[in-house]
Amino acid sequence: MALSITNLKKGTLFQLDGVPYRVVEYSQKVMGRGGSIVNVRIKSLIDGKVLEKTFKGSEQLESADVETRSVQYLYSDGAKFYFMDQDSYEQFELPAADMDDKSAYLREGDLVSSQIFNGQVIGVELPKNVPLKVTYAEDAVKGDTSSAITKDATLETGLVIKVPAFIKTGDMVSVDTSNGAYRERIKS
């Protein structure tokens, strides 16, 4: 299926020279009678490289046939991460280099989405937010009740994030996987 370049909104998947890409940033300039120009920042789903591309208004692109399946994270041996397809129970592995900073949000047994292109798994996508347990947080200083005060907290995966002063060891917190920011405390 052909995609018009005006359909290249943030998050859109398309294929360029046989490689699937995801649009990271999008801007369009309308040039009077000359049509429009679209500037995009795109990320390769194969190797993770980020490119800047400019397309003219009349160009057509091929949509990427990327299939998404629910998979369970099993474990990591340091060099590879192992997953199991929830439907077929097939297991597959991804090199640690392909996981970049995603490993900081994964716990054994977590469900994530795998991306499959031409029958081959090319990566996994985390949910927007993940719940993680605080394994260490310093106690708040008595009388320090300002909501702007933050402190470091170590989570069960080893990730260290900034949290409000009222968060303590043992709390469950929601973390944004796109930037590693604290979102909220999860009440149990």
Which pLDDT score is estimated for 143? 62
Where is average pLDDT lowest: 4-13, 93-102, 138-147, 149-158?
Answer: 138-147
CATH match for 129-186 among 1.10.1060.10, 2.40.50.140, 2.50.20.10, 2.60.40.10 = 2.40.50.140
Model confidence at 111, pLDDT cuts 50, 70, 90, reads: very high
pTM for the model: 0.74
In this predicted structure, the answer to whether residue 140 has a pLDDT above a threshold of 80 is: no
Q: Which residue has the higher pLDDT, 10 or 113?
A: 113
Complete DSSP assignment for 108-146: TT-EEEEEEETTEEEEEE--SEEEEEEEEEPPPPTT---
Which pLDDT score is estimated for 59? 83
In this predicted structure, the answer to whether residue 109 has a pLDDT above a threshold of 70 is: yes
In this predicted structure, the answer to whether residue 172 has a pLDDT above a threshold of 90 is: yes
Which pLDDT score is estimated for 16? 87
* Structural Rg of the chain based on CA atoms: 21
- CATH fold match for the domains 66-125 and 129-186: yes
Model confidence at 146, pLDDT cuts 50, 70, 90, reads: low
The mean pLDDT of 44-72, rounded to a whole number, is: 86
Q: Does domain 66-125 have CATH number 3.90.1170.50?
A: no
Nearest to 23 by CA among 38, 1, 2: 38
Kindly tell me the sign of the dihedral angle through the C-alpha atoms of 163, 168, 174, 175. positive
Identify the CATH class of 2-63.
Answer: mainly beta
Tokens of 109: 């047994």
Alpha carbon distance 102, 80 (integer Å):
13
pLDDT above 90: percentage of residues in the chain: 39
What is the domain partition of the chain in residue ranges? 2-63, 66-125, 129-186
